[in-house]
Amino acid sequence: MQLTIAQRLDRLKVRTAELSHWRERAIFPLRNWTFGGEDIAIGQAWPDRKGVVHFASQANVPADWPLEETRLQLDLGGESLITLTYEGGGSESFGLDPYHQEFPLKGHNLSITTDSVARFPFGEPNRQPKLNRARLAWQDIPVHRLSLLLRQIVEAIEALDGHDVVPHLLDAAETALRSLDWPSATASYVSRTANAEWQQKIWELPELIKARQAFRRMSAQPSLQPMTA
């Protein structure tokens, strides 16, 4: 039986969400953070959310990671002006909010400082701000670009809502996904996607591989490559 447009779109959303778990070749957590000069752990609530507060940390990109493929990924729990100051001189500043949480780097060794407020865009307050995420990520650029493109296709289909071009957009997205040779080693696959919503519906996950081992094992496989005849 032929799937409806709505069913095909739902399938595309699921596959696109799955693909996002392969955007990084490796990750490196940044744990040494301070808040107003005092230590704060990843996942910890802000000790104070009044006015402008200040986070600080250091980052050292692994020597074998290409800088052009490395990103600093931060979710500090509010809006921030972050400043990256590089060893040997030079600095660069970025705005951080829920829609801008990945930043390029210009050097392997840097310090990170912030001016942060417990607010979301348009002044919406965050009454329970936390230091949610801080890590370096070595991105798989082709996978990242495909993931982004598929998300844009999903959003376009939803916005167009029944336009004649919708089936053609779905055809293009489905053709791209069929061209991928998806990894299938169970332990590594489950460990890589363990935090996904669909995995949380499983009664009990098998024993997981540590993050770094899972990434290494996945990168050793012919993962997410175009299939050849």
pLDDT in tens, 9-50: 999 999 999 898 888 899 999 999 999 999 999 999 999 999
- Asked if residue 227 belongs to a domain, the reply is no
Residues 103 and 120 in one domain: yes
Which residues form the domain of 40? 24-139
Residues 83 and 118 in one domain: yes
pLDDT in tens, 137-151: 999 999 999 999 999
Whole-prediction pTM? 0.79
Tell me the C-alpha distance between 221 and 209, whole Å.
15
The pLDDT mean for the chain works out to 87
Q: What is the pLDDT of residue 143?
A: 92
Distances (CA, A) of 210 to 190, 194, 196: 11, 11, 16
Q: What is the pLDDT of residue 228?
A: 36
In the chain, % helix, strand, coil (3-state, to 5) comes to 35, 30, 35
Q: In the predicted model, what is the mean pLDDT of residues 163-187?
A: 89
Q: In the predicted model, what is the mean pLDDT of residues 115-132?
A: 94
Choose the final residue of a domain: 139, 169, 184. Answer: 139
Task: List strand residue ranges (DSSP E) for the chain, in order.
Answer: 24-29, 33-35, 38-40, 55-60, 70-75, 79-86, 91-96, 102-104, 109-117, 133-139, 180-181, 225-226
pLDDT in tens, 57-80: 999 999 999 999 999 999 999 999
Residues 126 and 171 in one domain: no
